[in-house]
Amino acid sequence: MVAKHLRGRDITDERVLAAMERVPREVFVPDDLRRRAYADAALPIGSGQTISQPYMVARICEELGLDGDERVLDVGTGSGYQAAVLAELGAEVHSIERIPELAEQARRNLLAAGAHTVTVHVGDGSRGLPEHAPFDAIAVAAAAPELPQGLYDQLTQGGRLVVPIGARSDQRLEVIVRRTEGAAVLRSVPCRFVPLLGEGGFEA
């Protein structure tokens, strides 16, 4: 997966590639889909949701530019896979999921994968996680109609937010930095994610 779908495309950050090599994706997919765990595809995980495509997980991690000492917020825990990869790259990871059953399954998956520095919360992640803010980096794995202001406000100065923004059907993955003069968009690439539902997202 790493050689073909990540290094073979445009993922170049060696820390990200090594993290993706270390995290066993098969732990995060349902038993009957394990043979497809290393395909570059999103796969169903129940409750109408999906585990993100490995390329998108790598792309988001690379855009966050983590050094290893950051506090990170992961919005849309899903299976917990992205959170596990972030835990390999940052110091402390908080992950938030709105569907309690998925959050519970993700906790089990993370335990099985040995990702002990991730705390999974249940709630509306489009509002961020004020009690644990500020964050040096925020990864959002669901699409918002516009920049979720609550998330931006919970970034440290110089902190990065990676979030798909656009319509329910297709979006652009925006890389946003918090600067004293305001939000700066570093990059924006086409993508397709499930909707972020809640106060800072689409109507549920």
Residues that bind ligand SAM (CB under 6 A): 49-52, 75-76, 78-79, 81-82, 96-99, 102, 124-126, 141-142, 193-194, 196-198, 201
Q: Using the minimum distance from each CB to ligand SAM, give the nearer residue, 144 or 155.
A: 144
Phi, psi dihedrals of residue 154, rounded to the nearest 5°: -95, 10
Residue 171 CA to its chain's centroid (Å): 15
Let me know if 47 is a catalytic residue. Answer: no
Please, what is the minimum distance in Å from the beta carbon of residue 85 to ligand SAM?
Answer: 8
Rounded Cα distance, 120 and 173, in Å: 24
Please, what is the minimum distance in Å from the beta carbon of residue 18 to ligand SAM?
Answer: 18
In the chain, the amino acid numbered 140 is V
Q: Using the minimum distance from each CB to ligand SAM, give the nearer residue, 158 or 170.
A: 170
Please, what is the minimum distance in Å from the beta carbon of residue 157 to ligand SAM?
Answer: 25
Calculated CA dihedral for residues 139, 145, 149, 155, nearest 10 degrees:
10
Rounded Cα distance, 30 and 191, in Å: 24
In the chain, the amino acid numbered 97 is E
Q: Using the minimum distance from each CB to ligand SAM, give the nearer residue, 99 or 173.
A: 99
Q: Among all residues, which ones are annotated catalytic?
A: 52
